[in-house]
Amino acid sequence: MTRFPLRRLRLRSGEEHREAVRIELEPFDLGGERYLPVPHEVQAELAIAQATSGLVLQLRFETRLHGPCMRCLRDAVVDVRVDAREYHDADPAAGPELRSEYVVDDQLELSAWARDAIALALPDQILHAPDCKGLCPVCGKDLNDEPHEHEDVADDPRWAALEELRDRL
């Protein structure tokens, strides 16, 4: 886990500190599948500005995620560009909405912040191709390789009583 020591900064109001940092990215699970950031360590730009009552934090980097396509389970690759901002009030009595959860004991938890920022930057679905057809719900074959249709399946006799009720309504 990558951390940045905030205690070493001696910023006055209005001053800014910029630094290139290497962040270790952790794999994460999404929808029951594991996605791996490649490379597992990225070069990022960290900017910390001193506001009147706290710190304005900014993190920028790019990475690539590898994992299964959400429709057909083929290998999928997603390029992710992160530009995240946080505010951390210096007053310990400030409400939780004014204090960053990534600042712990004067340390900025860069790996945790980067993981959450990646998750927010992801598309709704991770697909190997935008036109992925997925798997057949009947037989499970990949519809990208073998497009096909099945004849209508006969109704399950266990649902007959409910079908009868639906027809009466």
Q: Which residues on adjacent β-strands are paired with residue 60? A: 45, 83
The b-or-e profile of 101-132 (16+ CB within 10 A means b, else e) is: ebbeeeebbbbbbbbbbbeebeeeebbbeeeb
In contact, 69 and 126? CB cutoff 8 Å: yes
For residue 2, the 8-state DSSP code is -
Q: Which residues on adjacent β-strands are paired with residue 29? A: 34
Task: Record the pTM.
Answer: 0.79
Amino acid 56 reads V
Same domain, 147 and 124: no
Record the tokens describing residue 122, joined without a space.
């992801």
For residue 51, the 8-state DSSP code is -
Same domain, 24 and 61: yes
Number of domains in the chain: 2
Same domain, 65 and 50: yes
Same domain, 102 and 114: yes
Same domain, 77 and 158: no
Same domain, 40 and 19: yes
For residue 151, the 8-state DSSP code is P
3-state secondary structure of 22: strand
In contact, 17 and 52? CB cutoff 8 Å: no
Report pLDDT digits (tens) over 15-66: 889 999 999 999 988 888 999 999 999 999 999 999 888 999 999 999 999 9
Report pLDDT digits (tens) over 102-158: 999 889 999 999 999 999 999 999 999 999 999 998 889 999 999 998 887 667 788
Same domain, 37 and 104: yes
In contact, 21 and 113? CB cutoff 8 Å: no
Report pLDDT digits (tens) over 52-98: 889 999 999 999 999 999 999 999 999 999 999 999 998 878 888 89
Q: Which residues on adjacent β-strands are paired with residue 88? A: 55
Same domain, 124 and 146: no
- For the chain, the first-to-last Cα distance in angstroms comes to 60
Same domain, 50 and 128: yes
Distance between CA atoms of residues 169 and 164, nearest Å: 9
Same domain, 58 and 88: yes
Residue in the block written with tokens 């399946």: 153
The C-alpha torsion from 32 through 35 and 41 to 42, rounded to 10°, is -120
Domain containing 50: what range? Answer: 3-132
